[in-house]
Amino acid sequence: MGNCCCHEKQPRRHPLQKNIGHNSGVDGKLAHILETNPRSHVDIIRTRPTPTRTNVPRCNKIVVALYNYMARDVSDVSFKKGDRMEVLDDSDGDWWTVTHLLSKETGLIPGNFVAKEQSVESEDWFFEEVSRKEADKLLLAAENPRGTFLVRPSEHNPQGYSLSVKDWEEMREYHVKHYKIKPLDNGGFYISTNKTFLTLTELVQAYSKNAFGLCHVLSKPCPKPQPQMWDLGPGVRDNWEIPRIQIKLVKKLGRGNFGEVYYGKWKDLTVAVKTLREGTMSTAAFLQEAAIMKKLRHKQLVALYAVCSKEEPIYIVQEYMCKGSLLDFLRKDEGRTLGFEDLIYIAFQVASGMEYLESKQLIHRDLAARNVLIGENMMAKICDFGLARVIEDNEYCPKQGSRFPVKWTAPEAIVYGRFSIKSDVWSYGILLMELFTFGQVPYPGMHGREVIEQVEKGYRMPKPTSHQLPDDIYKTMISCWDGKPENRPTFEFLTHYFEGFNVTSEIPYREVPD
């Protein structure tokens, strides 16, 4: 260590790839190794060592904090939004060594909490990693007035940007307008050719004074959600087996397939703690699977932070998702009032998380609305990926188990144990049905055995008559339930399908009155 690279920002990638993580080299390796030997990678992948503070050459990059951060152990430094720091080493993707220019403390900080001083990334209105759909969600938050805005890299034009503005129209109430910001050959930018600007900042300043044909003058930058953390702190990044005593179980959240789940604390941080019932799986197999899960980074996958596996019950410490499981959410008040656009957004996010697993050649095996969690701003994340593989409980066995999710599992997986990403696509189709029927149990009125027999004979769930489900989405569900796995769509296709789903012809999505 000790080399100072202070890289400038990496060239932009497609937004769908953005949160795949800083260690893309490691991820690439993971994919390759999984291809050749699904079990071998655990020993081979090494995380980078935490940077040391001594003998680090200075590189004079000054960064400014975009958020507050509270130190979590002895090696990191606290800071407040707006604080300035000198970067000593940013060669580790996650944790940078800095000297705080006010407190003079030297230590580690999360690199995604800061941006280079006076760069466009340091502006409150610049959102480096949001898609158009996410921008809609963030801007439409009730507390944002008309004219709240953000600027984001364009999803389609690598040199361009998009300006997203919250607007109001009488019939449609609040909605978001998106404007293309095009680059000029000489380095400037414009929205309309008769008004050009040298920088994005100048453009934003001008449109904050005068609408110049925009739907509304830019009134206030959209509040930025805190960036994703992938570990609890620099000290437990690589040593993620933590002492049980550090975990406080505060409140029981529910009971799942594996055991009880708690809202808990690690120091001051809120976490979810999954406890694994004794005998559910072997500790060795679980740890091997957890090592894969720890390496997976995508904003639509729940982050695994740490484990306590020295004694039973094993604790899995993960990111807390404040609205709980998608299934419960859909059945309760807030979920029941979701609009069609929200449902499409959730379908898109789940497909996008699964697309990432698909790209890593990993299989979920238990994809269902109960295994998707919901957070702020309708953020959906898949959980429990990989765990189904290591369950030893007989109740979870395809042939005999009462807990085996028959209604979600593809026929070839039930009958021959042939689980694949295509059997996950089948499950995704069932999840879509759960989503668009607000959490109805699939194949209503049918028992598991009957489902297996009927599905084998070609029966598929009909288009629900109680909801206004567009024909095209129903066709997509049916394609996920093709008897031949190879004919089912890929998650890559499904992501693009829901990302581009045209909601302009939107009908209010609700139950059809009798």
Helix (H/G/I), strand (E/B), else coil: 308: strand
Question: Residue 262 CB, nearest distance to ligand AMP (Å)?
Answer: 9
Q: Is 65 in the site for ligand AMP (CB under 6 A)?
A: no
Q: Is 393 in the site for ligand AMP (CB under 6 A)?
A: no
The piece of 1-9, 117-125, 154-162, 251-259 that touches ligand AMP (CB under 6 A) is 251-259
Q: Is 347 in the site for ligand AMP (CB under 6 A)?
A: no
Q: Which is nearer to ligand AMP, 181 or 276 (CB)?
A: 276
Annotated active-site residue 482? The verdict is no
DSSP letter at 298?
Answer: -
The piece of 209-217, 312-320, 416-424, 438-446 that touches ligand AMP (CB under 6 A) is 312-320
Of 442, 441, 435, 495, nearest to 470 (Cα)? 435
Whether the Cβ atoms of residue 87 and residue 97 lie closer than 8 Å to each other: yes
Q: Is 280 in the site for ligand AMP (CB under 6 A)?
A: no
User: In angstroms, rounded to a whole number, what is the distance separating the alpha carbons of residues 113 and 225?
Assistant: 11
Q: Of residues 63, 253, 382, 414, which one binds ligand AMP by CB under 6 A?
A: 253
Whether the Cβ atoms of residue 168 and residue 146 lie closer than 8 Å to each other: yes
Q: Of residues 26, 33, 108, 272, which one binds ligand AMP by CB under 6 A?
A: 272
The C-alpha R_g of the chain, in whole angstroms, comes to 24
Q: Is 258 in the site for ligand AMP (CB under 6 A)?
A: yes
The piece of 19-27, 141-149, 257-265, 406-414 that touches ligand AMP (CB under 6 A) is 257-265
Q: Which is nearer to ligand AMP, 329 or 491 (CB)?
A: 329
Q: Is 304 in the site for ligand AMP (CB under 6 A)?
A: no
Q: Of residues 61, 237, 370, 389, which one binds ligand AMP by CB under 6 A?
A: 370
Question: Residue 311 CB, nearest distance to ligand AMP (Å)?
Answer: 20
- In the set 366, 384, 393, 514, the catalytic residue is 366
Extract the annotated binding site for ATP.
Answer: 274
Q: Of residues 162, 325, 352, 427, which one binds ligand AMP by CB under 6 A?
A: 325
- Identity (one letter) of the amino acid at 489? P
Residue 177 neighbours by CB under 8 Å, 6+ apart: 164, 165, 167, 214, 215
- Identity (one letter) of the amino acid at 300? Q
Q: Is 309 in the site for ligand AMP (CB under 6 A)?
A: no
Whether the Cβ atoms of residue 278 and residue 261 lie closer than 8 Å to each other: no
User: In angstroms, rounded to a whole number, what is the distance separating the alpha carbons of residues 197 and 205?
Assistant: 10
Question: Residue 186 CB, nearest distance to ligand AMP (Å)?
Answer: 49
Cis peptide before 313 (omega within 30 of 0): yes
**Residue 135 — φ and ψ, nearest 5°?**
-60, -45
Question: Residue 385 CB, nearest distance to ligand AMP (Å)?
Answer: 11
Q: Which is nearer to ligand AMP, 251 or 484 (CB)?
A: 251
Q: Of residues 56, 261, 351, 421, which one binds ligand AMP by CB under 6 A?
A: 261
Q: Which is nearer to ligand AMP, 302 or 344 (CB)?
A: 302
Q: Is 321 in the site for ligand AMP (CB under 6 A)?
A: yes
Distances (CA, A) of 64 to 107, 149, 150, 200, 458: 15, 21, 19, 18, 60
Q: Is 318 in the site for ligand AMP (CB under 6 A)?
A: yes
Whether the Cβ atoms of residue 235 and residue 74 lie closer than 8 Å to each other: yes
Residue 147 neighbours by CB under 8 Å, 6+ apart: 165, 166, 167, 216, 217, 218, 219, 220
User: In angstroms, rounded to a whole number, what is the distance separating the alpha carbons of residues 434 and 440?
Assistant: 6
Q: Which is nearer to ligand AMP, 261 or 292 (CB)?
A: 261
Question: Residue 354 CB, nearest distance to ligand AMP (Å)?
Answer: 17
**Residues 371-390 interacting with ligand AMP (rule: CB under 6 A):** 373, 383-384
Q: Is 324 in the site for ligand AMP (CB under 6 A)?
A: yes
Q: Is 326 in the site for ligand AMP (CB under 6 A)?
A: no
Q: Which is nearer to ligand AMP, 51 or 264 (CB)?
A: 264
Instruction: Look at the block and give the residue holding tokens 């960064």.
Output: 63
Which own/partner pairs from 23-30 qualify as long-range (CB within 8 Å, at least 24 positions apart)?
23/47, 23/48, 23/93, 23/295, 23/297, 26/295, 27/295, 27/297, 27/360, 30/292, 30/295, 30/360
In terms of Cβ atoms closer than 10 Å to its own Cβ (0-12, 13-18, 19+), residue 445 is exposed
Question: Residue 403 CB, nearest distance to ligand AMP (Å)?
Answer: 11
Distance of CA 329 to the CA centre of its chain: 17
Q: Is 439 in the site for ligand AMP (CB under 6 A)?
A: no
Binding footprint of ligand AMP on the chain (CB under 6 A): 253-258, 261, 272, 274, 302, 318-321, 324-325, 328, 370, 373, 383-384
Active site residues: 366
